[in-house]
Structure 1
Amino acid sequence: MPASTVLGSHICVSDLTRRRFVVGSAAFSGLFAAGCARSAGTEGDASGMRTVTTSLGTYDIPVTPKRVVAIDSRLDLEPAVAMGLPVIAYSFDAAEPWVPADPTAQVFEAPVNVEAILALEPDLIICTDIGEASDMWPLQQLSQTAPVLPMDFTRPWRENIDQLASWLNRTENPEVRQVIGAYEDKAAGLKERHARSLASKQIVLLNYVNQKVNGVNRKGISTQVAEDLGVQLQWPVEGQKEISTENLVTSLDSADGMIVTTAPGVDPVTDDRAMWNRIRAVQGDNVVYTGGNINYGSVYTAMRTLDYFDDLFTRLEN
């Protein structure tokens, strides 16, 4: 994983020069009005600004931002990197090793301290919008620092990238088209190689955290990739509920293979889990452990998830 500078979430900036982003009253007259349309912006003017409409209202953003902060290292950082934006800082967690983030970017603890973001003097902020006020994603406070582009928590990763590209007038951006094209080509190759197994094998997606086994978010990245590939998924529990130890074997016994999201270095097989080792897929070595979070993210996490499915179906075919 690239080395990053981890900063505390309570940095004092009382002695620092504070540059506040000032907008005209007309631009933000409907800033937080409910039901604002999410639409593409108008062409940039001579000042290098461009008017956009988002869930936060209608306002101006820089056509070519120079100092971008991505608040969430998953939903916000990955689209920004794919778009080739100069990300100087992000928060939540250090980027996963498969995300080509700038190793010199500062990493803030979550929830991020708005004063610390202010001290960086960003000209654009990208922040997840979960549809309500949140300390983790403080949209309203951040919008007083710099213009904010909100990523929709409920949208598939492709739609969020397309929306960001539309706002920034980069729908034909070669960098993002290249990375999405690489994903599509890789997915097509996997579907061709494993066509028979994709049609017949039953796969389960799980999370393994703190010796607990849970289901996954049905709208998460791993599920989106599974849908792209036509994977036959089983759902042993509803959503992200925990699978109790006493039900572990029976709940997972019919699965041919599993992809299990784990933290780096965590392996349930050696984690004193006698019941885990009685699961049919585990006994057949038809389980792939991710060593990183594939529940949330964007194109880079989707690309990595293709590797996990490729590994799993290769195991099932050997």
Structure 2
Amino acid sequence: MSIKLNRRNFALGTAGLALGAMLPGRAFAQETRSVTTIYGTYDIPVSPKRVVAIDSRLDLQPALALGLPVVGYGHSTPGSWVPVPAGLEFYGSEINIEQVLASDPDLIICADYDPDSVWWPANRLRDIAPVVTTSNDKPWKDAFRELAILLGREGEGEAAFAEYDALIADIKARHGEKLASRTVVSVQPAEGVFYMMNGSKMLQPQVLVDLGARTIPPAEGQDYDAGETPAEAFGDTLGQVDGIILATTSPEGAALLDGEPMWQRLPAVAAGALVASNGNINYGSIYSAIKVAQMVDELYGKMA
């Protein structure tokens, strides 16, 4: 990558021109690096000062782990395990473009979903500041590593990986026999049904693979959840499972199936071999991967 010194240019676009007075009007020399993404080849700051991370799962987590000075994020509330600094702006689930503009970012990280959507509106954000991408179509470690390389923060990236790898190694050392002999899987409970979260692009299965854990593999071509499982099929689906990772967004979510007799009859449920996330673990990056690994560690601790 070439590195050169130039001056930040802020292309505001139609909406931005109407709101230009909201900005502090900073114009300063910045060292830049040339990068190539799905949006072409362009310059980004070597040391950005104000970073917006659009998706709290896919963008905010790696941005924080790489030591970027994040000023705000969108999509959803991060899990309690994500070390979010105090005072960050929240731009909404449907991204408030004017609010992002007022934050005066010099770099924006935005997951590479539909760039014309209201949730990841990269095409509009590119009128505010350079946009670099993350991707949920790749394993989380690949997406994290690519972002670290793109930003020239390989050292910070390797340090984050070292923390995760050390945790995985520790869990393997302490639960080796259970990893090989007990079957665990993640499910998301709902009213009278559940969804098995074992698709190849979901976070929990990636962590289970790293641990070498026994689990229920996805069907051929299954990227995301396995679809709705009704109460009458609970036994057929989870009857041979020893432990269950509950993908919930609140403590109430963990109790959604408590009144279902077929749920209570499952061996894992009867044995109390359950752990609940109380936050989104279906998708994410380094911090949620660590959280899933910690949940698996706790789950094996509940098995005799």
Q: TM-score, normalised by structure 1?
A: 0.82
Say whether residues 1:227 and 2:209 are aligned partners.
yes
Aligned residue number for residue 135 of structure 1: 118
Which residue of 266, 270, 281 corresponds with 2:268? 281
Higher helix share goes to which structure?
2
Report if aligned partners of 2:81, 2:288 keep a CA contact under 8 Å in 1. Answer: yes
Question: Which of these residues, 46, 55, 58, is aligned with residue 72 of structure 1?
Answer: 55
1:178 CA drift (Å): 2.7
What secondary structure, in the 3-state scheme, does the structure 2 residue paired with 1:112 have? Answer: coil
Distance 1:59 1:138, change over 3 A: same
**Which digits, 9 at most, give the CA deviation of each residue in 1:266-300, with x for residues without a partner?**
22377433321121110011121211111111111
Is 1:184 equivalent to 2:165 in the alignment?
Answer: yes
Map of 1:17 onto structure 2: 21
Tell me how far apart the structure 1 counterparts of residues 261 and 76 of structure 2 sit (CA, whole Å).
31
Q: CA deviation at 1:18?
A: 5.0
Deviations 1:231-272 (A, max 9, x none): 111158764201012212222111111111012212237743
Partner of 2:9: none
Aligned residues of 1:222 and 1:294 also touching (Cα < 8 A): yes
- The aligned amino acid for 2:279 is G
C-alpha distance in structure 1 between counterparts of 2:134 and 2:74, whole Å? 15
Indicate how the Cα distance of structure 1 residues 120 and 13 shifts in structure 2: closer, same or farther if over 3 A, else same: farther
The aligned residue for residue 261 of structure 1 is 247
Counterpart Cα distance in 2 of 1:189 and 1:136: 38
Deviations 1:26-82 (A, max 9, x none): xxxxxxxxxxxxxxxxxxxx8411110011100010111111000000000000000
Correspondence for 1:290: 277
Aligned to 1:40: none
- The one-letter code matched in structure 1 to 2:170 is G
**Correspondence for 1:118:** 101
The answer as to 2:286 corresponding to 1:304 is no
Is 1:245 aligned to residue 231 of structure 2? yes
Structure 1 letter corresponding to 2:300: F
- The DSSP-based 3-state class of the residue aligned with 1:65 is coil
* TM-score between both structures, scaled by the size of structure 2: 0.85
1:20 and 1:131 mapped to 2: Cα distance? 30
Alignment equivalent of 1:101, drawn from 80, 84, 94: 84
- SS of 1:258's equivalent? strand
Partner in structure 1 of residue 180 of structure 2: 199
SS in 1 for 2:201: coil
Report the alpha carbon displacement of residue 17 of structure 1 after superposing the two structures with TM: 1.4
CA distance in 1, matches of 2:128, 2:291: 34
CA distance in 2, matches of 1:194, 1:166: 34
How much is the aligned-residue C-alpha RMSD, in angstroms? 2.4
Query: Is residue 74–residue 296 contact of structure 1 (8 Å, CA) maintained in 2?
Result: yes
Residue number in structure 1 paired with 2:144: 161
Q: Indicate the larger mover: 284-293 or 234-243.
A: 234-243
- 2:21 maps to a residue whose letter is T
Which amino acid is the alignment partner of residue 294 of structure 2?
A: D
Gaps of 5+ in 1: 1-11, 22-45
Instruction: Find the aligned partners of 2:169 and 2:209 in 1 and give their Cα distance.
Output: 13
Whether contact under 8 Å (2:114, 2:121) holds in the other structure is: no
Distance 1:120 1:78, change over 3 A: same
**Secondary structure of residue in 2 paired with 1:189:** helix
Partner of 2:215: helix, strand, or coil? Answer: strand
- Give the fraction of aligned pairs with identical amino acids, expressed as a percent: 36
Aligned equivalent of 1:272: 259
C-alpha separation in 2, matches of 1:139 and 1:95: 21
